[in-house]
Amino acid sequence: MKIVLIGCLFLVSCATLRKAKPVDNQVPLTKENITLLNGEYEIFSTTDTKSSLDESLLFNKYWWKDSDNRCSYTLTLKALDKQRLQVGVYKSGDLIKSKKIHYKIRHGALRFNRIMFKSIVIVNVCGAMHTRLRVNTAGELIIDHSHSSMGGFLIIPSAGENIKEEGIVFQKRR
């Protein structure tokens, strides 16, 4: 079982972010200027609005097309030190979740990863999330995100009996 778990985590952690597409006027992040991320950001999609955060589910995409009722999302970031960042997510002004995350700075962008494993009765799920944060000279936040997961059922074979019979004689009928 441990080998299966380690193998799954290894496979999931291989799904990394692709090379970053260039952003106009990107400011390379360093440990000295990490406070550039401090602030409150409104979340919107630069792609089709039907694929934004709260309409990405199949039900919402095909049956609930009224986009006037969408909630607005806000993200707050505050650099606590050179390794930790406070992140808060708000939905229509109400705090959904706040968390302190550890990060690394690579290639002028802030990166953090999360590997998870959940086991619910006989269903096992493991996955990994990779996130990259960048900022441009206008102070806009650019987020690249990759999420991969896999799951499976735990099958426990029954403890049956091994029956061994020897010397059974069958008589010929005809």
Give the pair of three-digit tokens for residue 103: 């990060």
Q: What angle do CA 86, 147, 145 make, to 5 degrees?
A: 55
In angstroms, rounded to a whole number, what is the distance separating the alpha carbons of residues 134 and 110?
7
The per-residue pLDDT for 147 is 67
36 part of a folded domain:
yes
- Position 166 scores a pLDDT of 59
What is the rounded CA–CA span in Å between residue 128 and residue 23? 25
Write the pLDDT tens digit of every residue in 155-166.
Answer: 666 655 656 565
Helix (H, G, I), strand (E, B) or coil at 42: strand
Tell whether 86 is covered by a domain: yes
Q: Which amino acid is it at 36? A: L
pLDDT, one tens digit per residue, over 61-106 is 555 555 544 567 788 999 998 889 999 988 888 899 999 989 998 8
Q: Do the domain assignments include residue 162?
A: no
- 170, part of any domain: no
In the chain, how many domains are there?
A: 1
Enclosing H/E stretch for 76? strand 73-79
Structural domain including 101 reads 2-17+24-47+72-153
